[in-house]
A = this chain, B = another copy of it.
Amino acid sequence: MAKRASKSPSSILEVATLAQVSTATVSRVLSGRRTKDDDIARRVRRAAADLDYSVNYAASALRSDVTNTIGLVIPSATDSFSAGLLDELEPTIDGGSRQLLLGIGADEAMQTDRIDALCSRKVDGLIAVTSAGADLSTVFDKYADEIPIVQVGGRQRSFRTNMVSIDENTAMEAIIRHLAGQGVRSVAYLAGKEVSFESAELFAMFHTQVRAAGLATDSDWNRFGDSTVQRGFDCTIRLFGERGHPDAIVCADDTIAFGVMMALHALGMNVPEDIKVVGYNDSPIAAASLPTMTSVRPPYHRIVEETLRLIEAGPGHPSHVSLPPELIVRASSTKR
């Protein structure tokens, strides 16, 4: 590349000259490492503003080993959780002078690759949303005592990194309690993928909460499967071919719930009058469905808050934070 075409940006030396102080003082004032707000400080700030000065991050990073960047790795931008997190995270990070470096990796190999790339850039902190089934403990451990790492959601694999996750148990409790409050007596659960540990765990929580609330369920109603519209549709059609049916269907994902609602419509059942439906993840289709769908929303704001707190804390003090999600009550589960 040719040298910057127009005027090169002003350097700290020019600011120092204009403010009649040393470059060290300018650095100290502008980075807030100097306490007082006296005449000198004002002169420096004034000069910096006049010259439209902004630090050269490359030089700053080279000297101080602080890059003012945070790395984020996600499985895909179209993943609704990652997108929600991103929208909440970016403004919070960028409020200061930090910037977000993004890496996208659909599987374990790609995610590992991206984490290597981000760490070789010496990001000040790394946030990772692991893709389904990926085990990043090896690469996490590799950098764990150099930079703070926070895994958001998923299953914890490395015990040398921080973890911010969603308290699914509280979510399930909120769902069941809400349904009981709406007069529901019996409830079915359409779980996620059979092989997944998380699905099994959620399924167990469902049973616990149903029992605790004094509701009924039936093992024939509850099935594992893919998180697709088709699967929700098929399961529902099958459900209504059997002897009895529940007052409510709880689904492990909004897409399943969506298929459920389409099937109920086809069967001539009204939601929520005849049967109530609850989804999970609060994806865009939850608000776009007809009727609008009750769903569980990850507490993005608190997730970001905790994640950044753990990054400030620096490497070496791994801790685990579990946050209760928010139940977004909409038309599909409300008695009228």
Contacts and interface: CB of A to CB of B under 8 A. Distances in A.
A102 to B, nearest CB: 5
Interface stretch (A36-44, A82-90, A217-225): A82-90
Contact of A90 (B102, B229, B285): B102
A149 to B, nearest CB: 13
Copies per complex?
2
Nearest to A99: B101
Given A83-B77, A255-B288, A65 B146 contact: no
Interface stretch (A20-28, A55-63, A167-175, A189-197): A55-63
Contacts of A121: 57, 99
B6 A145 contact: yes
Interface in A242-295: 255, 258-259, 262, 265, 283-285, 288-290
A133 interface: no
Q: What size tier do the contact residues of chain A reach?
A: 35 or more
A138 interface: no
Interface stretch (A112-120, A177-185, A328-336): A112-120
A220 B273 CA distance: 35
15 contacts: A1-B66, A2-B314, A6-B145, A54-B120, A57-B122, A58-B62, A76-B83, A77-B86, A94-B104, A97-B117, A99-B121, A101-B102, A228-B288, A233-B290, A262-B290
